[in-house]
Structure 1
């Protein structure tokens, strides 16, 4: 209890109450470029009280907007809303990095509490009748015609997003939508955590060097390093992540092990047991359908796409099918080439999913005399990074300069200042290229 009290005391400073300095999680960011995230000062245990503090700060800002006796205008309502919640925005930015790149058992327990809390607060804002009346007044006001296109767009976004969140529902409808959103927040979090847990919890252990046949030296070294990290020095481990599975599926001659690696990866969250996502998917689909009905939409897809470029599920499906049909046709051609090669080798197999990458490499060598392993020395990370920067420079006029002495959340991270063609600061690019436990697999970005 003493530790919790101390943490709460640190956080009080965010709302102006006398006491010790506020936690870095809720304090204004310090440093150059308008302030930098204090990644090196994050304490996971402080996230929960930090969110309570930041939410209360934004709640007070919302209250000030709704208490304004002056008629609603763009300046005192829409612009004021845009300025509100800066502490919460900063906190969510750091929290998002931990969720996707620095997860741990301690943090996952925090997520289970924070995500429903955030969902409840978003509904509290969207269902605030006094606030919505002010937004609607600006949306319907003749003043809107005098606003800039950007300001008009902002008014439209606020009004539309509030309506889509249930601002026009009666009290019963609002309560049900809020309950659904909080439950969905928990389900989404559990779903993601199950995937990450299966990536960390499953592995393919190799004890016989003969089972490494076909693997390039780089893959063997990576598997040996992973085994040593897991306390099995002298063996080899294929982790259940895309970055480990993909090269193994491409080069390993042992078909049974390829199947094991493939099944481990594709069955993440799709198996009987505590981390089975199938019951979660069923409940998510049911709740999404119910929410769409409450909000006046035929399906969740209609609700989700209404304010997107596609607008309707039908248009989205048209685009998908335009790509899907030729893609399937091409895959059939590729599999036919693979099967022909397997038959020529007297492999006695029918091409299965765990054979696809392996035989794709063989076909590439046979048809085009192209060996990916011969190309790899020219695709070193630093060279690829420089090529990426060069492309951004050619397309957008950006330049990248390495920055040191900047707080980072992991030793793998390097930081680059981005400037435009006029040498004006655009932002900082945090480059985090390596897979590791607690980090979501695949290629992605956040901003």
Structure 2
């Protein structure tokens, strides 16, 4: 008989975390290849839960609507927590590829929830009755926040406007990813190299050692490197004696994403501003700032 095909272990990003206080993320078991499928599974799981909540035939209550909505994202929340760590602190080429793929999908999933008219009708019913109900002050606050969030993100728009808004949000998610990855690329590739120990005058010993190690890791043993990252730049700007070198390092840092070439963000920023303005008008606000401050 042929050997049995071994069953694949569950994606570690989708299973409940083990341990006290809600559990501990399983970073020891995570592979970058697991992140995209985990996010996709989490979105599918939440959307299925949303369909159940929206289709519930019983009268809407805090428990079967508001609390159920909060519980619906548990799998996706676990996956996004690890995804956020990887994109924020461990973002190599593989992670960035996942981010480019998933950012617009996550935006679209969020809109599918906030634009679900049956779900919003249930939320609105709980919201309308909140002060006449037996809800605690904390529960009433959660109801208000949930209703406000949905309205803020277009729940009261018509179907055509909702589709336009979702398209804008997906474009903005893609552009925001482009913007941040361009900055990161400039941070990873930029450095000011120093050849003379006198150039380090004023720096604490730990900063000098870090600069020497940074140069060594870039194949420049015997030199010092001030990398294009805040943790490298700020000590140099704070302590270095030479004003001309401080200016050079400062200019490198503030020009991230603005130095021309493949990582230049000028066009990306212009597109983001234009799309934000369109979104604000679609949602009934004169500017993006007005929209951002609406629910604050």
So what's the TM-score if we normalise by structure 2? 0.93
The answer as to 2:175 corresponding to 1:218 is: no
1:95 pairs with one of 80, 83, 88: 83
Distance in 1 (alpha carbons) for counterparts of 2:81 and 2:207: 34
1:73 pairs with one of 55, 58, 61: 61
Distance in 1 (alpha carbons) for counterparts of 2:9 and 2:263: 41
Give 1:124 shift.
0.5
Deviations 1:160-192 (A, max 9, x none): 111111111111110110001001111111111
Distance in 1 (alpha carbons) for counterparts of 2:36 and 2:235: 40
Distance in 2 (alpha carbons) for counterparts of 1:214 and 1:29: 48
Contact 2:152 2:294 in 1 (8 A): no
The answer as to 2:9 corresponding to 1:24 is: no
Contact 1:289 1:300 in 2 (8 A): yes
Deviations 1:302-328 (A, max 9, x none): 1111111xxxxxxxxxxxxxxxxxxxx
1:172 pairs with one of 145, 160, 166: 160
Distance in 2 (alpha carbons) for counterparts of 1:47 and 1:142: 39
Deviations 1:113-167 (A, max 9, x none): 1111100000000111111111111112367532111111111111111111111
The answer as to 2:176 corresponding to 1:188 is: yes
Contact 1:29 1:38 in 2 (8 A): yes
Contact 2:228 2:252 in 1 (8 A): yes
1:208 pairs with one of 196, 200, 214: 196
What residue number does 2:236 align with? 248
Distance in 1 (alpha carbons) for counterparts of 2:39 and 2:197: 51
Contact 2:130 2:143 in 1 (8 A): no
Contact 1:138 1:144 in 2 (8 A): no
Distance in 1 (alpha carbons) for counterparts of 2:262 and 2:25: 36
Distance in 1 (alpha carbons) for counterparts of 2:133 and 2:58: 20
Contact 2:228 2:253 in 1 (8 A): yes
Distance in 2 (alpha carbons) for counterparts of 1:160 and 1:253: 52
What residue number does 1:37 align with? 25
Distance in 2 (alpha carbons) for counterparts of 1:215 and 1:68: 65
1:57 pairs with one of 30, 38, 45: 45
Runs ≥4 residues deviating over 4 A:
none
Q: Secondary structure at the match of 2:226?
A: strand
CA 80–300 in structure 1, closer or farther in 2 if over 3 Å, else same: same
Distance in 1 (alpha carbons) for counterparts of 2:198 and 2:290: 54
Distance in 1 (alpha carbons) for counterparts of 2:70 and 2:202: 57
What residue number does 1:153 align with? 141
Distance in 2 (alpha carbons) for counterparts of 1:191 and 1:260: 23
Aligned residues: 292
2:270 pairs with one of 236, 260, 282: 282
Give 1:256 shift.
3.0
Give 1:32 shift.
3.0
Runs of 5+ consecutive residues of structure 1 not aligned to the other structure: 1-9, 11-18, 309-447
Give 1:210 shift.
3.4
Give 1:31 shift.
2.4
2:281 pairs with one of 285, 293, 296: 293
Q: Secondary structure at the match of 1:125?
A: helix
